[in-house]
Amino acid sequence: MQIEVKGTPLPVAICHLAPGESIVTEKGAMSWMSPNLEMQTKGGGVGKMFSRALQGEAMFQNIYTAVGGEGMIAMGSSFPGEIMVIDVAANPVIAQKSSFLASETTVTNEMFFRKKVGAGLFGGEGFIMQKFTGSGKVILEIDGSVMLYELKAGESMLVDTGCLALMDASVNMEIETVKGIGNKLFGGEGFFNTKVTGPGRVWLQTMPVSNLSRMLAEYIPTAK
């Protein structure tokens, strides 16, 4: 499968499928496609459907297959930002909820449960994240621009809540409390930061949709 990402600030992933090749997409992700693609909507069982719901995804997914020749399908981003294509064969990755856009059928999407309660409650990513393993490529949506850092073993970075978009499965994530009661109350950075420790790659997003919604809420008058 050949994948090209085009456009800003609302990019689109254009996927070229070989005859008989299939792609799994999030519900409603298709923007345009060649007429020889056949669609099947599947849930994959109650357990998988419930798992996807907890990950912030639709319970059903669409599978498109190229029939009678090569096919093409395009999937647009739902929020200003970037679309990333990650090959998980060598490095499984863990992503924020609701980031899945599409993948090859050989990619496995699993619910990743943050074992440490603090990381789940206060880390901004919640208890549930998404882990992608197997072989092939996964297509993910990232809010705003993406900054990539590669952490060495034992090297750490503090990240503002919600800015952690994606990381290698080898990276550890935990919560660190902001020091000083004055800093907590008046610093505007909240009570907690997310601490990521290598080895592995970390992708950070500059404008989480949750931050944008809070900013816009200040300018929207409340109904009386």
Phi, psi of 122 (to 5 degrees): -120, 0
Our CA dihedral for 209, 83, 101, 23, rounded to 10 degrees, sits at: 180
Is the per-residue pLDDT at 43 higher than 80? no
pLDDT beyond 80 at 11 = yes
Whether 27 shows a pLDDT value over 80: the answer reads yes
CATH numeric code, 2-217: 3.60.160.10
- The pLDDT assigned to 8 comes to 86
Q: State which amino acid sits at residue 53.
A: A
**pLDDT band for position 44 (50/70/90)?**
low
User: Quick one: CA dihedral 69, 65, 91, 84, positive or negative?
Assistant: positive
Q: What residues are paired with 142 via a beta bridge?
A: 82
pLDDT tens for each residue of 163-197: 999 999 999 988 777 665 544 444 445 567 788 99
Q: pTM here?
A: 0.81
